[in-house]
Structure 1
Amino acid sequence: MSDLSNAAVALRMISGKLSRRLRESAPPADLTWSQVSVLGHLVRNGGMTITELAKAEGVRSQSMGATVASLSGAGMVKAESVPGDGRKTRYVPTASCLALIDENRAMRDDWLLQVMEQTFSAEERQTLLAAIPLLQRIADQ
């Protein structure tokens, strides 16, 4: 196996472990991870219909309907008519949802900052900062 192949395997494993650690650092309150994922789509993409959300998550519309209903009941999303087509309904995040997501992101950012400050030397921090654009290019592919 080449050095680059080994690096690909290591990066995959590290990114998975880091994702799990970030999730652990900021539990999603009373929400399931599938609900959190749906809220992420809505925050990133704006209002979406059940069908659009189901396609984005790779699930059936009926399953997504149940997820959205639970989020609506929890006050995390609200329904509104699709502009130009009042027959369709799209769901948008509520102010409560946006506050929860901001709080969750801040907790994860704080955890990551604390770990980097406690774990890395000044030189290692500079190396990490230099690698960020490279990692971003991989993520953008």
Structure 2
Amino acid sequence: MSLDPDQHDDTDALALAHDLRLVIGQLKRRLREQAYLGDLTWSQVSVLGHLDRQGPATVTALARAEGVRPQSMGATVAVLEAAGLVGGAPDPDDGRQTILSLTAACRDLIKAGRAAREDWLLRAIQTTLSAEETAQLAGAVALLKRLAAS
């Protein structure tokens, strides 16, 4: 009795998806360990990441992007402002709104965190992988980019 080749491919793809999810989770945790976040919560880090990637925003826009109520986002932003990580300026189109952006100190902190994570990855690649494995990893990164874009 032979197995259906399509069923075998589906089983292999499911196992690969499972393994990939686990490995990406482990890699994310290792990368997080490399950047000191101080006493920031993950929701605060997420807001800083949003402002870094998307640029200045209002509390309302941040709340919408993060899927929380504006009141909750206001509390998160207040902590970030008190820590000197974000600052606000009046919206030129609507003076009732405040446009929030990252402070220079926060940008420096983000830059240092990225450098620490990239340095860890560089050292891990150089000390763990052979030249051939490094080339294979480069090919895998191209495939992961395609997956992420799908």
Q: TM-score range by the shorter chain?
A: over 0.9
CA positional deviation for 1:29: 2.3
- Which position in structure 2 is the counterpart of 1:26? 35
CA positional deviation for 1:127: 0.3
Q: Does 1:80 align with 2:75?
A: no
Farther-moved stretch of structure 1 (121-130 vs 31-40): 31-40
Instruction: Output one character per residue of 1:87-119: Cα deviation in whole Å (capped at 9) or x when no partner.
Output: 211200010000000001101111111111111
Which of 18, 21, 33 is matched with 1:12 structurally?
Answer: 21
> For 1:113, what is the secondary structure of its paired residue?
helix
Corresponding residue pairs, total: 141
Percent of aligned pairs sharing the same letter: 54
Matches within 5 A, 1:47-58: 47-58=56-67
Which of 98, 109, 116 is matched with 1:107 structurally?
Answer: 116
Q: Does 1:140 align with 2:149?
A: yes
Instruction: Output one character per residue of 1:20-65: Cα deviation in whole Å (capped at 9) or x when no partner.
Output: 1100111212322221111000010011111111121122111110
TM-score (norm 1): 0.94
Whole-Å Cα distance in 2 between the matches of residues 132 and 77 of structure 1?
A: 33
For structure 2, list consecutive stretches of 5 or more residues without a partner in the other structure: 1-9
Letter in 2 for 1:96: A
Structure (1 or 2) with the larger CA radius of gyration? 2
Q: Does 1:94 align with 2:103?
A: yes
Whole-Å Cα distance in 2 between the matches of residues 70 and 57 of structure 1?
A: 16
Whole-Å Cα distance in 1 between the matches of residues 22 and 65 of structure 2?
A: 24
Whole-Å Cα distance in 2 between the matches of residues 53 and 77 of structure 1?
A: 13
State the Cα RMSD in Å: 1.2
Structure 1 runs (4+) deviating above 4 angstroms are none
> For 1:103, what is the secondary structure of its paired residue?
helix
Q: Does 1:126 align with 2:135?
A: yes
